[in-house]
Amino acid sequence: MMDGWLESLGKTVAGVLSPHGPATQAAATSYAPGDFSIHFFLQLAVILITCRVVGWLGKRLLGQPQVVGEMIAGVVLGPSLLGLAFPALQGAIFPKETKNVLYAGAQLGVGLYMFLVGTTLRLDHFRTKAKSASFVSMAGIAAPFAIAVLITPMLLTVPGLFAPTISQASATLFLGACIALTAFPMLARIINERGLANSALGTLSLTAGAFDDACSWCVLAIVLATFGGGAGVAILAIGGGLAWALFVLIAGPKLLAPLGRMVEREGELSLPAFATVMIAFCVSAFLMDLVGIHAIFGGFILGAVMPRGRLTQEIRRKLEPLTVVLLLPMFFTYSGLNTRMDMVNSPELLLIALGILIASVLAKGGACYLAARLSGEDNRTALGIGALMNSRGLMELIIINIGLQKGIIGPTLFSMLVLMAIVTTMMASPLFEIFYGRKGREAGELDALDGGIVKVA
């Protein structure tokens, strides 16, 4: 009876939200501007409610951070759950005609988030524990790419996982980058909230995680530049992206220094100054998108060169709540709308998904643990490093969404990698607590927990 009522509700909502179009014969099929607006605000409300509810349940029942709940909420709203149980309702709320609007909002959210991540990047972490961190980092890169070399030829024989025209080298590089990735923002938040920034575990994990992510993004840039576009596209992407990155890294600090001094002098980020920051962000994101890389690279690199101090504090104070609460959940939902768990519908595909998950955990977590032990860290610290480095989180969703958008991977492999991202992220906090957290608090090395395992934006 309940199912019938919900299905009836879905059909009613579908009728209300059907295209209105202009007052012509096209009214039955075309969307007027007002239709997009109606759907957009409804989608935002549904997304925020679902993310809050699922995030709260994940924290209370499983001790998971909010970001894990939001990742799961995105899948819940997609065809894997809501679309499977109530297709009329899901189709009415998220019609395919409106996905481009949601995509633009999602890119704004993830671009601003990576800009904020860039403002928190601490270069001093690269200068301490350099030897051990480089050993852990190299292991965290080498093992995933070695695994990718072994399993990619097999995956290429399965139709629908990779694009038919992709080369084995490009497929291997992309899969290796996905497995090698670490959820650096989540890693930084756990370490900072636990007061571990100056500990062996904190320094090693942050330094190795930052380097591994940088390598993964560089590999992704190469794959994007060379996939299916010919030499001209590759030269434009690699040359243009490198030129803009060098300009921002070299000239950015000098150009932005007066802005930083002005904010320090005035004690706040004025509206004109904030507008200047947003213009710089939009230009950087636009240029990276224009050359064929991705907007997030432009946002992150600009954030990395922002003058530290009052300016970055004010930027985070003004941007972080809106970005994390309102904009970023759109990205999780857009990912969920592209996730079709029902496509992993045969024993062969289930085994492949499980194999990718196990290979990813062993290659990343296992390699980082062994490297930390070989570099002289005690067993508890090495296990903690392995647990944290194995988390993929938001960074994995970003990279696989780019892969799907650019046609490198198909929806089936995308769904498998979403599953891998969610599971490895859910593993991180409990394993860290078991291996390091409990004994760390007993020894006074770790702050007491506040409600859950961690609070992560």
What pLDDT, in 10s, does the model give residues 170-194? 899 889 988 988 877 667 666 655 6
**Range of lowest pLDDT (66-70, 154-158, 275-279):** 66-70
Say whether pTM exceeds 0.85.
Answer: no
Q: Which of 87-101, 235-249, 301-315, 334-348 has the highest mean pLDDT?
A: 301-315
DSSP 252-269: HHHHHHHHHHHHHHHSS-
Under the banding of pLDDT at 50, 70 and 90, the label for residue 122 is low
* d(C-alpha 9, C-alpha 87), whole Å: 11
Query: How far is Cα 450 from Cα 454, in angstroms, rounded to an integer?
Result: 8
Cβ atoms 400, 216 nearer than 8 A? no
Sign of CA dihedral 417, 402, 179, 72: negative
Specify the higher pLDDT residue, 435 or 263.
Answer: 263
* Residue 93 CA, distance from chain mean position: 24
Q: What is the pLDDT of residues 395-442, one digit of tens each?
A: 788 788 888 888 889 989 988 998 898 898 888 878 888 888 777 666
Structure tokens at 277: 């920051």
CB 224 within 8 A of CB 292: yes
d(CA 320, CA 306): 16
Provide the pLDDT confidence category of residue 134 given band limits of 50, 70 and 90: confident
Q: Has residue 456 got a pLDDT over 50?
A: no
Mean pLDDT along residues 369-375: 87
The whole-number pLDDT of residue 41 equals 92
pLDDT higher than threshold 80 for residue 155: yes
Sign of CA dihedral 381, 383, 386, 389: negative
Over range 150-166, report the average pLDDT. Answer: 90
Q: What pLDDT is recorded for position 285?
A: 92
Is the pLDDT score of 233 beyond 90?
no
Predicted confidence at residue 454, as pLDDT, reads 34
Whether 1 shows a pLDDT value over 70: the answer reads no
How do residues 6-58 score in pLDDT, each as one tens digit? 556 555 555 545 554 443 344 445 677 777 888 899 999 999 999 999 988 88
Lowest mean pLDDT among 152-161, 223-232, 357-366, 389-398: 223-232
DSSP for 48-97, written as a single string: HHHHHHHHHHHHHHH---HHHHHHHHHHHHSTTTHHHH-HHHHHHHS-GG
Identify the pLDDT of residue 455: 37
Residue 48 pLDDT = 93
Beta strands in 206-289 (DSSP E): none
- φ/ψ of residue 153, rounded to 5: -55, -35
**Percentage of the residues of the chain whose pLDDT score is greater than 70:** 81
The domain limits of the chain are 36-93, 107-442
Structure confidence at residue 354 as a pLDDT band (50, 70, 90): very high
Average pLDDT, integer, range 129-133: 66
* Predicted pLDDT of residue 143: 92
Q: What is the mean pLDDT of the chain?
A: 80
- The residue whose two tokens read 């100054």 is 273
CA distance readout (Å), 283 to 61, 112, 233, 296? 43, 13, 20, 12
- What are the structure tokens assigned to 33, written together? 């501007």
If pLDDT is split at 50, 70 and 90, which confidence band does 307 have?
Answer: very high
Q: How confident is the model at residue 198 (pLDDT cuts 50, 70, 90)?
A: low
The token duo for 86 is 């109530």
pLDDT (0 to 100) of residue 427: 86
Give the highest mean pLDDT range of 183-187, 338-342, 355-359. 355-359
CB 219 within 8 A of CB 177: yes
Per-residue pLDDT band at 302 (split at 50, 70, 90): very high
Q: What CATH number labels 107-442?
A: 1.20.1530.20
State the Cα–Cα distance between residues 108 and 428, nearest whole angstrom: 27
Q: Specify the DSSP class assigned to residue 124.
A: G
What is the structure's pLDDT at 228? 55
